[in-house]
Amino acid sequence: MLRAIKSKLNKTTSPNSSNIIRLVDTFDEEVTIPLLASDLLGEGVFSFETVINDSFTENYVVTPPFYREQLGEECYRDYDYLKNSINDIHCYTIELAKPSFLPIYTENEASLLQDLSLLHQKNSELYIQLLITQRQDNWQNEFIDQYSEYLNGNDYPSSKRVQRSVQRSILNVLNKFSGYHSQRKEVAEISSKILQNGFRFELKIITNTNNKDTFEDELNELLKEYDFFNNLIFLRDRHKKQFVDNFLNRRFSTVSKEQLISESELLSILSCDQVIPKQETIMDKIEKTKRLVTKVSNFDLLPIGEKKDRNIDEDIVAELPVALKKAKSIRNPNIEVLDVELGATVQRITFKIPEGHVYSDIKNKHEDINSALGSDINIIQGKEASTITFLIPCSQREIIYLKELLENEKFQEYSSANSLPFVCGVDMHNELVLKCLTKAPHLLVCGATNSGKSVFVNAVLITLILLKSPSELRIFLIDPKKVEFIQYNGFSHVEKVITDMQKAVVILDRLIAEMENRYEKFSKIGVRKIDAYNNKSKSKIPYILCGIDEYNDLRMMHPEVEEKIERLGQKARAAGIHLILATQRPDKEVMSGVIKTNFPSRVSFKLDNSNEYRTVFGTGIPYKNLLGFGDGVIKFVGQVEEFIRFQAPVISLDEDVEEKTFEKIKNLAKNEFVENIQLEDIKYESDLDKLKRLIANSGETRVSRLREEMGIKMNVVSQLMQQLVEEKWLEKPESKAKGYKLIASDEELAKWREH
């Protein structure tokens, strides 16, 4: 767990467990832009590598296994020569000479990697490696503090807060004696760097040249071309064995943990074709911060929940060893308890597995232990070696309120760095589970009656409504049962609450058209994602969220929606369109290949049996069952742990209070003028109507021919044909060789021939 936390901060990033190596012609914008548009850049180490000798020059992009964009031909690259030639090589690291908030020059005609390749000397080999990972911690706040010190006369503000305080004191003393106080004007280029995405980087060079002095002189001259507020320098590394080991394993060294470049600086290193984000000043940043504070104050609209005192159940801690002995899973009840933790839903008891026993000895006696203890517990492996953890339902569960989670400092920090943030709840260690919908990029939520599914979806929607203005987020809600989303009618953020299923299909078609229209807008200004478009364009476009309750009901009534969901699932993310599907019955029909492929992020609350959990996630969950009422588990793209169990929050337990809260939030942005999204008008004709028209005009009833004519999947046609059988249009064939028998009346057929 500690390693995962460190990795997340991107200051001690762990190397990838494995890599995919792709051969590319150059590091041009066709390679760099899709990669920089990814939301996964902070989840692993990415490498750009060039190998040059007298015979060839080869460029490689190396990515973690979860990044599947086809940037080039997948290949294998061996650097065995380096292992065997430690004494013959020279190793260099290029780094920023000054504090990282200061930018280098980014307007050179060629990229730095292109320039470095020119350093290759005859009869030698040159290896260049650039490691990057996106920083996801609070580096921008640190940079703003350093920048403030810089504007007040400190030329080299430290990255350490305590040291900056000392520097400030010394500077104040010097100013007092000199009677002069230095105050710089704001610098647009520095502001721009701070407001862009930030990347930890490490640029390494290895060569076996015999003309080391010449090589270093040329390298030094080359780096001067990037002098600006900051400058690049090279350092000779004499620990060659460790250097080569880091190079081969694509591993950051500890010395680069404070080295950070912006997106535009990274592009100037990789490619001369840049997409520079629109510059903003620090005053703009301050205004953004003020707006964030205003949004945070919106949380005051949420009710304060009542907290009750709860204590660890010491009796169950004492009874557990006895129950294990009684179930014959251990011989000696004198076990070493390592940790007892009281969570919102379960109490965790971890102990060391006694000598002479293994995990399976205890796990296999699960039912016997339940019987001996008189409680329905779960058993999982402990975090440390040779430990086991018991999850025991709390006799008095803690109610988690949405307001307290949204006002938590961790969520406020997370929300300032993510576009569509939400909080799932608290995990078994009482830590917030924070996610962003843009990284999902679509979410499937499953749960039986009283599981907490609907409460969870409402919490996500309310969070986004409180955080985003109506001009930043537009919401479409599809509610087949006319129950779950009706309360959102009249919300400024909500375009429509659709209860008519035919209109729901039309809305999905219109969202597809909107997606394609957005891609056309993106291509006109040379960007691929909504964030980049909004940075460059004067006219901003909002994110769109489409929530569908009881997706299974919609799919059964209109099977064609699956293909529409597939199209949106495949392409809508970069266009800023995201889906949340909710269903009570996650059967194999719902969890089709389309859903599994396009909804990798999934949440489940209590279901009827273990098979349903397996259907949702493709594998069993580590817990025998969930307890209902907000006890959930999430599997999310880029998540370190495969599953995280959490207790979801409620707005209020009192329905009257919740209803009043919705009314308050409804009035939140009532006076803000927002132009509704003008989705392309598409006349609706269901696949069933199309099929009737086709059969009425052609007389064709063979499934294969009808599928070919309609251009839809075989299983969809089969379902539609079954509907026509039920409507007395068709009669099932006696054998597969024959088509269905058309039995509709001439009068009925005439209606469809007239259209």
Residues making up the annotated binding site for ATP are 447-454
- φ, ψ of residue 537 to 5 degrees: the values are -95, 145
Provide the total of helices (H) and of strands (E) in the chain, helices listed first. 28, 25
CA dihedral 369, 374, 375, 381 (to 10 degrees): -20
Alpha carbons 560 and 242: distance in angstroms, whole number: 58
Cα 490 to Cα 288: distance, rounded to the nearest angstrom: 27
* Tokens found for residue 646: 């959490």
Instruction: Of 695, 696, 699, give the one whose Cα is nearest residue 749.
Output: 696
Measure the CA–CA gap between 677 and 428, rounded to whole angstroms.
Answer: 41
Q: Write the burial class of residue 385 (CB in 10 Å: 0-12 exposed, 13-18 middle, 19+ buried).
A: exposed
Residue 35 CA to residue 52 CA, distance in Å, equals 24
Amino acid symbol at 269: I
With contact defined as beta carbons under 8 Å apart, do 575 and 523 qualify? no
In 3D space, the residue among 382, 142, 95, 103 whose CA is nearest the CA of residue 259 turns out to be: 95
Beta bridge partners of 443: 580, 601
Known binding residues are 447-454
- φ, ψ of residue 316 in degrees (nearest 5): -70, -30
Other Cβ atoms within 10 Å of 709 Cβ, number: 15
- Which strands sit side by side in the sheet containing 346-352, from one edge to the other? 337-342, 346-352, 387-393, 378-381
Which position has the token pair 């260099």?
A: 92
CA distance 180 to 202: 39
Q: How far apart are CA 103 and CA 106, in angstroms?
A: 8
Q: Identity (one letter) of the amino acid at 699? A: G
Q: Which residues make beta-bridge pairs with 474?
A: 544
The H-or-E segment that residue 188 falls in is: helix 188-195
Torsion of CA 479, 483, 487, 492, to 10 degrees: 0
**Token pair 């064709």: residue:** 700
Q: Provide the residue type at 690 as one letter.
A: K
Greatest Cα pair distance in the chain: 105
Q: How many CB atoms lie within 10 A of CB 501?
A: 17
Q: Which residue has the tokens 């005609």?
A: 109
Contact 253, 246 (CB under 8 A): yes
Q: How far apart are CA 491 and CA 476, in angstroms?
A: 11
What residues contact residue 708 under an 8 Å CB cut-off, 6+ apart? none
What are the tokens at 720? 């539609």
Quick one: which of 529, 458, 640, 23 has its CA closest to 275?
529
The edge-to-edge listing of strands for the beta sheet with 443-446 is 432-436, 421-427, 644-647, 631-635, 601-604, 443-446, 577-583, 543-548, 473-478, 494-498
CA distance 330 to 338: 17
Task: HSE, CB side, 13 Å, CA atoms: give it for residue 514.
Answer: 28
Chain length of the chain:
755
* Calpha distance 441→164 (Å, rounded): 40
Cβ atoms of 438 and 419 within 8 Å: the answer is yes
| C-alpha to C-alpha distances, 387 to 4, 338, 350, 394, 509, nearest whole angstrom | 19, 9, 7, 22, 53
Structure tokens at 219: 């390298």
